Amino acid sequence: MEVSNNGSIEMGEPYYCKECGRTHQKGKIYQDHFKYAQNQENIEENNEIEDYNEDIESEDIDDIDDIDYDQDEILDDDIDEEYVENEIDERTLDDCIDEVKGLPGVGDATLKKLIKAGFTSLESIAYTPPSIIQEDSGLGEKTTATLIKASMKKLNIGFKSAQDLWEHRKNITRISTGSQELDNIFAGGIETGCVIEFFGEFRTGKTQIMHQLCVNVQLPLEKGGLEGRALYIDTEGTFRPERIIQMAEALDLDYDTVLKNIIFGRAYNSDHQILLAKEAANIIKEKNIKLIVVDSLIGHFRSEYIGRGTLATRQQTINQHLHDLLRLCDIYPQLAVVVTNQVQAKPDVFYGNPIQAAGGNVIAHGSTIRVYLRKGKGEQRVAKMIDAPHLPEGEAVFSITENGISD
């Protein structure tokens, strides 16, 4: 039975998963998918970087010495900290595990089960639905509930005063998009601490903006960055290291360092995607991640959940996924989450908005700031602020050039 894991498989139905070669049940999340995505990512990324170097070699024969040096750099696993000076936030995996160990009732056996199932931080425990923790780790209902409650308490999740909220919001910062005009509609760059959605038709620059933000987030504060790393969840296979290199060079940055500071995960289906977002909770602090990109948010959901019967489940799953991302922003005021979204070809079951982003109300209500992109003349693009709790509606014209996003 060679059925791919997209198409019209009903929820709960078994299907053969080409990626890990086993039978799965539609709608369930599999840890193996995550591992597979990670392995694939390493293979693909290495190939792409090597290909790029081969191109250079044939063009600039004179610079052979430099090229050898570059390749050594890429093979070197140590992450260069040149642009990531702010290490106060950094935690090692051991630190995270120590915190989990400190939860009430976590002995060696429980800890082993948690680690085996990938729950290596308080965040990952606090944000994962209990049923999934139980299923993946084999822990009982009561233990799981206690662990979640204790993790939430330690992370200070729950009711807080408006003053606490204000303290939290005071930490919010911004990342420059590379275009002053575009930054202006966000009052000075895209905000951290919330989910920002860019939606628009094909080739309106969504993916280009995502690439640029991954570079810019690494810049020093005074240059519009946050001196942090980016995590990129690519659902469409459109991430291009070559493009990052062009953008990095345009900013006089060492592209090896810039590439190393982008943690990349290719999501092959919606299950991968959900899992990658959950896994992100484990590494935000440890890796000093200041930006999470999901490009695109609902592409997989649209192709996997076909037919009216699946709509409710689809919306519910997207909603949970979006809330996983929103919760991360609630905890980390200095983390920006940026997602892209396609526009609906024709209005369907979702009610009347003149500009129809795919995903309907679930996404409209889930993202905090929404920006609509459309094409202008030539390399120009127009961005319109559609929905933001504290920003006026405004429009900006920006350009996409070889150097990246600019005015």
Q: Of the two residues 136 and 234, which places its CB atom closer to Mg ion in the complex?
A: 234
In terms of DSSP bridges, do strands 380-387 and 229-234 run parallel, antiparallel, or are they unpaired?
unpaired
Q: Of the two residues 115 and 343, which places its CB atom closer to ligand ADP in the complex?
A: 343
Q: Which does 208 bind (CB under 5 to 8 A by kind): ligand ADP, Mg ion, none?
A: ligand ADP
What's the min distance (Å) between Cβ of 210 and ligand ADP? Answer: 7
Question: Considering only 98-106, 114-122, 196-204, 351-359, which stretch makes contact with ligand ADP by CB under 6 A?
Answer: 196-204
CA distance 182 to 385: 10
What's the min distance (Å) between Cβ of 255 and ligand ADP? Answer: 14
Give the list of residues 6+ apart from residue 203 with CB closer than 8 angstroms, or none. Answer: 375
Q: Convert residues 236-265 into a mask of x (bound to Mg ion by CB under 5 A) and - (unbound).
A: --x---------------------------
The two counts, helices (H) then strands (E), for the chain are 16, 13
Give the list of residues 6+ apart from residue 242 with CB closer than 8 angstroms, or none. Answer: 48, 52
Q: Which does 169 bind (CB under 5 to 8 A by kind): ligand ADP, Mg ion, none?
A: none
List alpha helices for 251-310, DSSP H: 255-260, 270-283, 299-304
Give the amino acid at 126: A
Residue 151, preceding bond cis, omega within 30 degrees?
Answer: no
In the chain the first and final C-alpha atoms are separated, in Å, by 52
Interface with ligand ADP, residue 401, by CB under 6 A? yes
Extended strands (E) in 6-156 = 14-17, 22-25
Rg (CA), the chain: 21
Q: Which does 202 bind (CB under 5 to 8 A by kind): Mg ion, ligand ADP, none?
A: ligand ADP
Interface with Mg ion, residue 128, by CB under 5 A? no
Q: What are phi and psi of 190, to 5 degrees?
A: -75, 140
Within 245-274, which residues bind ligand ADP (CB under 6 A)?
A: 246
Q: Of the two residues 117 and 195, which places its CB atom closer to ligand ADP in the complex?
A: 195
- Which residue in 203, 220, 347, 407 binds ligand ADP (CB under 6 A)? 203
CA distance 273 to 358: 17
Site size for Mg ion, by CB under 5 A?
3
What's the min distance (Å) between Cβ of 354 and Mg ion? Answer: 23
Q: Which does 401 bind (CB under 5 to 8 A by kind): Mg ion, ligand ADP, none?
A: ligand ADP
Question: Considering only 8-16, 117-125, 195-203, 382-390, which stretch makes contact with ligand ADP by CB under 6 A?
Answer: 195-203
Q: Of the two residues 35 and 203, which places its CB atom closer to ligand ADP in the complex?
A: 203
Within 207-236, which residues bind ligand ADP (CB under 6 A)?
A: 207-208
Q: Of the two residues 89 and 242, which places its CB atom closer to ligand ADP in the complex?
A: 242
Give the amino acid at 179: S
What's the min distance (Å) between Cβ of 72 and ligand ADP? Answer: 27
Give the list of residues 6+ apart from residue 50 with CB closer than 8 angstroms, or none. Answer: none
Query: DSSP class of residue 254?
Result: -
What's the min distance (Å) between Cβ of 247 and ligand ADP? Answer: 9
Maximum separation of any 2 CA atoms in the chain, in Å = 67
Type and span of the H or E element at 314: helix 311-331
CA distance 237 to 265: 10
Structure tokens at 258: 């810039």
What's the min distance (Å) between Cβ of 216 and ligand ADP? Answer: 15
Q: Which does 205 bind (CB under 5 to 8 A by kind): ligand ADP, Mg ion, none?
A: ligand ADP
CA distance 348 to 189: 33
- Which residue in 120, 179, 192, 207 binds Mg ion (CB under 5 A)? 207
Q: Give residues in contact with ligand ADP (CB under 6 A).
A: 200, 202-208, 246, 379, 400-402
Q: Give residues in contact with Mg ion (CB under 5 A).
A: 206-207, 238
